[in-house]
């Protein structure tokens, strides 16, 4: 192995044989060479140093063993921005971008003409949701909560890197929140206990279990959060939850039971027809 194209071919074959995404090698090589994709592909005959080859091979083998590429390179792209990630936070997913987009759209309609809105992100992890909302809408006054100080350290670093103004709160669900809430958002742990063992080892063995496990039916955090939020929500409010596939009916029922009859609760489905989000407006 000497040239870029040889390194990519080796990684593709090695990862395919290990049952991993064979395109991950390109991400890892770009990381080690500090190159954008177009630059890498225009330098396929670039000669790699021994140090670069050994570091690249080591990371490819780590990914083949199950370590997520994002933890190896130290970041993930979300809503057009780069977020630092490590084993203390869940890796942001593309479907969560749709949750953010849904909040931005519904907030502009539901709170039309209103200036400052108090937004609380519960279980913030890397801070991807909170920071993105802060940067996309300057009228949002963002607070973000996480039970793990280690996660908050990652989120705070991301906010510094991306120059986002967010109030970071350490505590369990809404316990540290003192102000009334206009918009409540959460992507809580929602994997049922019985389903944990069926997850990919890349997820199950490396991402933080506290961000995945949602109790026997996967609804533990929704039930607690919906109880806690009732004393903090303003009379006019927006609630946005990411959910697991098949949980829409149950989460909708929990919200309808807790909120006034004037509340509008909708389940949003992905392109494959799976329920992925629930929004409620009062």
181-186 vs 233-242, strand pairing mode: parallel
Model confidence over 192-226: pLDDT tens digits? 777 777 777 777 777 777 777 677 888 999 999 99
Partner residues linked to 107 by β-bridges: none
What is the percent of the chain where pLDDT is above 70? 99
Transcribe 59-100 into DSSP letters: HHHHHHTT--HHHHHTEEEETTEEEE--TTSPPP-HHHHHHH
Report the C-alpha gap between 87 and 281 in whole angstroms. 35
Q: Over 80: is that where the pLDDT of 88 sits? A: yes
pLDDT mean over 127-132: 98
Pairwise CA distance, residues 202 & 67, whole Å: 6
CA distance 88 to 180: 29
Q: Running DSSP on this structure, what letter comes out for residue 273?
A: S
Q: Is the pLDDT of residue 273 over 80?
A: yes
pLDDT value for 115: 80
């Amino acid at each position: 192995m000497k040239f870029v194209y040889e390194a990519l071919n080796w990684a593709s074959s090695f990862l395919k044989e290990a049952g991993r995404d064979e395109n991950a090698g390109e991400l890892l090589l770009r990381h080690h060479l500090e190159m954008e994709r177009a630059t890498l592909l225009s330098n396929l005959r670039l000669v790699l140093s021994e140090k670069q080859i050994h570091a690249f091979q080591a990371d490819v083998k780590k990914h083949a063993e199950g370590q997520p590429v994002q933890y190896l390179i130290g970041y993930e792209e979300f809503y057009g921005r780069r977020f630092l990630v490590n084993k203390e936070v869940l890796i942001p997913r593309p479907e969560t971008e749709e949750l953010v987009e849904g909040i931005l759209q519904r907030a502009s309609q539901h709170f039309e003409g209103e200036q400052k809105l108090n937004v609380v992100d519960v279980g913030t992890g890397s801070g991807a949701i909170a920071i993105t909302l802060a940067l996309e809408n300057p009228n949002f006054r963002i607070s973000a909560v996480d039970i793990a100080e280690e996660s908050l350290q990652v989120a705070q670093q991301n906010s510094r890197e991306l120059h986002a103004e967010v109030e970071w709160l350490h505590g369990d669900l809404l316990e540290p929140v003192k102000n009334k809430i206009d918009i409540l958002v959460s992507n809580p742990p929602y994997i049922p206990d019985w389903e944990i063992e069926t997850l990919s080892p890349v997820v199950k063995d490396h991402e933080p279990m506290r961000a995945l496990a949602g109790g026997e039916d996967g609804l533990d955090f929704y039930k607690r959060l919906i109880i806690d939020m009732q004393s903090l929500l303003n009379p006019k409010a927006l609630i946005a939850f990411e959910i697991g596939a098949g949980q829409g009916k149950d989460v909708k029922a929990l919200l309808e039971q807790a909120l006034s009859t004037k509340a509008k609760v909708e389940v949003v489905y992905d392109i494959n027809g799976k329920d992925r989000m629930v929004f409620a407006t009062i």
